[in-house]
Structure 1
């Protein structure tokens, strides 16, 4: 039997998923990585393998549940165990409910909610006999903060948080922990694709607004979020389950932009 722990990471080819896979590899994990982008997945795989870790690449569409289930089976067969599942992959279409199409809605909920649910089910079936395991659902502060421009994504993340409570209750007696991580503004590809109706990229303007709401005054980095994810999978968090944890630089619990605070109290709240 493989003596090293094993992690499954979805959306592992770039951004937060790649950083998370690399962090687990640095902590001694073998990895099964799932993504559609074969070229990018090969790049992160090569980096992990320089650390002497075994890595399995599963290239395909998570929305194809037959493919997704086969990835779990392959992990068990080739790596011998499943210790951690990181449900990181996401898909969404920017636009209001007025413009939302049924296929866009279905695709978002399938990738962001249905796939994590069934991956959790299949991985937990391997974790329960071992009386250990961790399932980490990568959610968003948008599960509680509406934007008006991502209805399916926000609904899916709200569902993912509720699913976390349900799975923690079900699998807790078998020693399997389940947590949801409500991430704030993270510097990844998904934070740079906001486009107006006339095709203008408005990501920079949204970034300025977001940084004006975040007490730490910056976006999170993928590598630092990856460290938080790996810590929560470790025994350092062994009594944590059934919780939604905000990793957002403090955004969720403060109510006004710093430029407004600056106008009121310029000596106490510098504008930048």
Structure 2
């Protein structure tokens, strides 16, 4: 019997799709010929992302505020109206301030929680409901962070959100697993995106380069990740090749989490070995 070469594109929803890791994900799935609903709050950047992948017919632009619960419903409704189903949801969007718990305002705390935690949770619930109605296996991927377990004391709401995303990943995997829905988290380390370029000192001087170099010096691979590398990991998790992976987190941090002491200090101890 001749093997069929027919290809059936999947329907992918990606939040935070206009830049960084989200944009790299769009490019990866577009390359595969999938149908993509791009969600972000920056309309011009969304349009630029679609123009860059040159597959506008395969894309649906959804511009709005993820902190608005009505917009979450619109994302699912508009995607279903266009393509009839959702196969993969990637909750990638994030927002945060860099400040300590001593100074963070309630407004900044609540906005971070809404975008980084509440939106992913309730968008996941809406998408899971649509997946269960269709009756076909689906995948939900939560983009967490190594900061979920390696806090620095400088982004309390973001750290709390990313930690909670890990817990809700396990909860949702247990709930939706019998329906064939896989729920997985990814925990990137430092990635070359705009979120790694906005750190300043007390006088407002940008010190991002210093912080990135320090983190890279503590990373066994001695570098940061590219957005494309994280997108590749997410793509694999959403594929059939990862069909028995659920209720867990994939750490993509170049070895940072499990390394002890910087390579600068290792070199002081063992100059011929490090």
TM-score bucket of the superposed structures, by smaller chain: over 0.9
Q: Which residue does the alignment assign to 1:112? A: 116
Cα distance in 2 for residues equivalent to 1:30 and 1:177: 20
Q: Which residue does the alignment assign to 2:190? A: 185
* Structure 1 residues 1-272: aligned runs within 5 Å: 3-48=8-53, 50-51=54-55, 53-129=57-133, 130-269=135-274
| TM-score when normalising by structure 1 | 0.96
| Gap runs ≥5 in structure 2 | 1-6
Cα distance in 2 for residues equivalent to 1:44 and 1:80: 24
- Note if contact 2:85-2:130 (Cα within 8 Å) is conserved in structure 1: yes
- Note if contact 1:25-1:51 (Cα within 8 Å) is conserved in structure 2: yes
- Note if contact 2:22-2:92 (Cα within 8 Å) is conserved in structure 1: yes
Note the C-alpha offset of 1:67. 1.1
Note the C-alpha offset of 1:267. 1.0
- Note if contact 1:113-1:156 (Cα within 8 Å) is conserved in structure 2: yes
SS at match of 2:23: helix
Note the C-alpha offset of 1:51. 4.0
Note the C-alpha offset of 1:217. 0.4
Note the C-alpha offset of 1:128. 1.6
- Note if contact 1:212-1:257 (Cα within 8 Å) is conserved in structure 2: yes
- Note if contact 1:25-1:53 (Cα within 8 Å) is conserved in structure 2: no
Note the C-alpha offset of 1:131. 2.9
Cα distance in 2 for residues equivalent to 1:177 and 1:165: 10
Note the C-alpha offset of 1:244. 1.4
- Equivalent residue pairs, number: 267
| TM-score when normalising by structure 2 | 0.95
- Note if contact 1:29-1:53 (Cα within 8 Å) is conserved in structure 2: no
Note the C-alpha offset of 1:73. 0.6
Q: Which residue does the alignment assign to 2:4? A: none
| Gap runs ≥5 in structure 1 | none
For residues 57-96 of structure 1, what are the alpha-carbon distances to aligned partners after superposition, in whole Å with 9 as ceiling and x for unaligned?
0111111110121111100110121000000000001000
Note the C-alpha offset of 1:7. 0.3
SS at match of 1:68: helix
- Note if contact 1:7-1:85 (Cα within 8 Å) is conserved in structure 2: yes
SS at match of 2:218: coil
Cα distance in 2 for residues equivalent to 1:188 and 1:225: 11
Cα RMSD (Å) of the superposition? 1.2
